[in-house]
Amino acid sequence: MIEEKIIEILKSKSGYVSGEEISDHLRLSRQALWKHIQELRDSGYDIVAVPHLGYQLVQLPDRLFPQEIGSGLETKFIGKKIHYQEKVSSTMDLALNLGLQGASEGTVIVTESQSKGRGRLGRNWISPKYKGIYFSVILRPKISPLQASLLTILCAVGLCEAIKENAQIEPQIKWPNDLLINQKKIAGILTELNAEMDEVRFVNIGIGLNVNTEKKALISSATSLKEELGKEVNRVELLKAILRRIETNYLLFRENRRKEIIEKWREYNTTLGKRVKILVRNQHLEGQAVDIDLDGALLVRKDSGVVQKISSGDIILCR
Amino acid sequence: MIEEKIIEILKSKSGYVSGEEISDHLRLSRQALWKHIQELRDSGYDIVAVPHLGYQLVQLPDRLFPQEIGSGLETKFIGKKIHYQEKVSSTMDLALNLGLQGASEGTVIVTESQSKGRGRLGRNWISPKYKGIYFSVILRPKISPLQASLLTILCAVGLCEAIKENAQIEPQIKWPNDLLINQKKIAGILTELNAEMDEVRFVNIGIGLNVNTEKKALISSATSLKEELGKEVNRVELLKAILRRIETNYLLFRENRRKEIIEKWREYNTTLGKRVKILVRNQHLEGQAVDIDLDGALLVRKDSGVVQKISSGDIILCR
């Protein structure tokens, strides 16, 4: 807490701040202040100390610290509580425990690296340290489990909007949960439910986004923003934009303005109009992806002319 | 384990079994045997000891002990593992923990009383000690969460079949999850999911059945088998029948023979053909309950003629 306050003071001034001023303000001894400055430096804050002038914050660390994400976030509830751990098995494991313990809606779990990052159906999500944005958010919508697919859809839209706004590049959405740039995967979304048949208790949305990941750490079907843009992206600012955009779209969902979400989704999608092959629990299906419905399900017109509703599955885009 | 074996030996003989015979068979001292006999008596087994003759099992206890339920159960997987606790908060709490820990399909959690027995949407299920059958079963079907409603339906059918077979009285099913006798509630079913959007990880089915509950312990809208039949029902035998019947119907579900489940459900149902009022998350709806579909959803024809599909909700039967 004191370290957060020191950072606040340093951020509020453009030049040097005297140690005396900080010490007086926070009622610290000069020695205690020095110890906190050292700890901040160890966390990655670049703080210069000059005798007789004081301290200056030269550079923020490339870390997804809660105080950095929370600073100027201006959301209503998403990210009001942020749990940060440098390394976790999966943010979804923590989110499940927190959800069961009654964590409030909008609680975010963020990490710098995951040893067992999860994709859909138990697949792996490679999560190299300090390179990506790996987080989960706990939502508590008053919906039946049958309506939860649209949460994946609205998070995909929020992610696209944030990336477009923040990194000036436009991803495409491959139904149901992948974001692509130049046909390569840049992000994935995992949606997990804890529910009665009548009502969801909570939904955890897990997002893995390759931000500054180097090519050598990526599989051939994946890419990162850095690879596509040729430069690094500030992860803190991007995550803040993502949380804001997810909240905006989630509020549309809560206000039952689902059509607006679907309309935005259509703009980013790369699935509709294409011929697709779909694998759903050992069943194969082929046809034209014609639309998604208000529940977020994909409508596929088979060669027989029959339109089938697909709520989840792996799809291959044929052209 | 030794006590289970003593019971097995006593059950296998119609008359007295000498202490020597049991001691030799189980390699126990006579004193150790005597101690185990005392413990069995404390658990409720009525065992008579006569000098020079030996021991005789006169009566089994009115307890849902795993060894009693498991004895001659003859199911494939439901009830192969039984967790028993004399008193729990809710069997659903234990089932969730066991499910998350990877408990195998068919694991049953049974208790004699619940301090916080749960109904749908956080409602209470009154669970007086030794009077009802309160249990949960963990299922791991390879389905999407959208297909889980039919699990409630098939358990309702299994319950009806077991009660009809075992207590010679036929309950009626009020969609989605209540069993009635003479318009009063005799049992409830609660279905909880832990799932991805693609696939359920596990489904816990919780069942509360009023068996030998006295009138004074029942609310006015509820009844028990004892109240309806005028005599007590053996809870162990009834629970065994329920587990068998649930498994039979679950196997139909797994073999995609859903129509057969729905056909049986129709026979027991008291909802179809009636005018119903439905409350779903603050939305009111009124119409004629015309059918249920293969997902277990209720089809209601509104006065406008439009048929609406209802996946869950509270219904009031109007006539």
* Whether residue B246 is found in the same domain as residue B293: no
Closest residue on chain B to A148 (Cα): B197
Task: Tokens for A234, please give them.
Answer: 């500030």
Work out the average pLDDT over B281-305.
91
Is the pLDDT assigned to residue A295 strictly greater than 90?
A: no
Least confident of A281-285, A299-303, B176-180, B229-233: A281-285
Find tokens 């508590």 and name the residue: A140
The pLDDT tens digits of the residues spanning A123-149 come to 888 899 999 999 999 999 999 998 899
Contact A143 B194 (CB under 8 A): no
Closest residue on chain A to B296 (Cα): A197
Work out the average pLDDT over A116-124.
86
Q: What is d(CA A300, CA A285) in angstroms, rounded to the nearest whole number? A: 9
* Whether residue A110 is found in the same domain as residue A41: no
pTM of the model: 0.90
* Whether residue B264 is found in the same domain as residue B288: no
* Whether residue B209 is found in the same domain as residue B241: yes
Residue A252 to chain B, least CA–CA distance (Å): 18
Q: What is d(CA A98, CA A113) in angstroms, rounded to the nearest whole number? A: 19
* CB contact set of A230 (below 8 Å; sequence gap of 6+): none
> What is the complex's ipTM, to 2 decimals?
0.86
Structural domain ending residue among the three candidates B16, B41, B59: B59
CA dihedral angle for residue A68, residue A70, residue A73, residue A77, rounded to 10 degrees: 160
The pLDDT tens digits of the residues spanning A206-217 come to 999 999 999 999
Structural domain ending residue among the three candidates B43, B59, B75: B59
- The residue among B246, B239, B206 whose CA lies nearest residue B92 is B206
DSSP letters, B239-293, are HHHHHHHHHHHHHHHHTT-HHHHHHHHHHHBSSTTSEEEEEETTEEEEEEEEEE-
- Return the residue in B94, B101, B146, B314 with the most chain A beta carbons within 10 A, the one to mutate for interface testing: B146
Partner residue opposite A198 with nearest CB, options B195, B199, B312 = B312
Q: Residue B36: which CATH number?
A: 1.10.10.10
**8 A C-beta contact, residue A102 and residue A270:** no
The reported pLDDT for the residue numbered A232 is: 96
Residue A280 to chain B, least CA–CA distance (Å): 8
Structural domain ending residue among the three candidates A39, A59, A79: A59
* Whether residue A101 is found in the same domain as residue A244: yes
Residue B145 to chain A, least CA–CA distance (Å): 7
What φ, ψ does residue B283 adopt, rounded to 5°?
-105, 130
Crossing angle of the two packed helices B30-42 and B2-12, in degrees rounded to 10: 90
- Return the residue in A89, A90, A196, A282 with the most chain B beta carbons within 10 A, the one to mutate for interface testing: A196
Task: Tokens for B252, please give them.
Answer: 């139909």
The reported pLDDT for the residue numbered B319 is: 62
* Whether residue B194 is found in the same domain as residue B298: no
Please tell me the total count of domains within chain A: 3
Q: Residue B211: which CATH number?
A: 3.30.930.10
* Whether residue A237 is found in the same domain as residue A153: yes
Q: What is d(CA B164, CA B161) in angstroms, rounded to the nearest whole number? A: 5
- Of chain A, the percentage scoring pLDDT greater than 70 comes to 100
* CB contact set of A198 (below 8 Å; sequence gap of 6+): A144, B120, B121, B312, B313
Partner residue opposite A194 with nearest CB, options B142, B194, B197 = B194
Q: Residue B292: which CATH number?
A: 2.30.30.100
Partner residue opposite B152 with nearest CB, options A142, A152, A197 = A197
* Whether residue B181 is found in the same domain as residue B303: no
Partner residue opposite A312 with nearest CB, options B197, B311, B312 = B197
Q: How far is CA A47 from CA A31, A51, A107, in A?
A: 16, 13, 31
Is the pLDDT assigned to residue B231 strictly greater than 90?
A: yes
The reported pLDDT for the residue numbered B275 is: 95
Residue B276 to chain A, least CA–CA distance (Å): 18
Is the pLDDT assigned to residue B282 strictly greater than 80?
A: no
Res. A279 pLDDT band, cuts 50 70 90: confident
- The residue among B170, B147, B294, B73 whose CA lies nearest residue A146 is B147
Find tokens 């109009």 and name the residue: A273
Work out the average pLDDT over A69-74.
93
Res. A319 pLDDT band, cuts 50 70 90: low
Burial of B256 (0-12, 13-18, 19+ CB in 10 A): exposed
* Whether residue B31 is found in the same domain as residue B160: no
The reported pLDDT for the residue numbered B47 is: 94
Is the pLDDT assigned to residue A281 strictly greater than 80?
A: no
* CB contact set of A288 (below 8 Å; sequence gap of 6+): A273, A274, A275, A276, A300, A301
Per-residue H/E/C for B55-95: EEEEECCCCCCHHHHHCCCCCCCCCCCEEEEEEECCHHHHH
Residues in A touching B278 (Cβ below 8 Å)? none
Work out the average pLDDT over B285-296.
92
* Whether residue A90 is found in the same domain as residue A178: yes
A59 membership: H or E segment, kind and range: strand A54-59
How many of the other CB atoms lie within 10 Å of CB of A292?
23
Work out the average pLDDT over A279-304.
90
B206 and A CB contact within 8 Å: no
Contact A197 B193 (CB under 8 A): yes
Is the pLDDT assigned to residue A16 strictly greater than 90?
A: yes
- The residue among B37, B80, B34, B86 whose CA lies nearest residue B65 is B86
Q: CB contacts < 8 Å between A and B, how many? A: 78
Which domain, by its residues, includes A300?
275-317
- The residue among B2, B24, B4 whose CA lies nearest residue B12 is B4
Distance spanning both ends of chain A, measured CA to CA? 54
* Whether residue A105 is found in the same domain as residue A222: yes
* Whether residue B94 is found in the same domain as residue B19: no
Contact A121 B145 (CB under 8 A): no
How many of the other CB atoms lie within 10 Å of CB of A274?
16
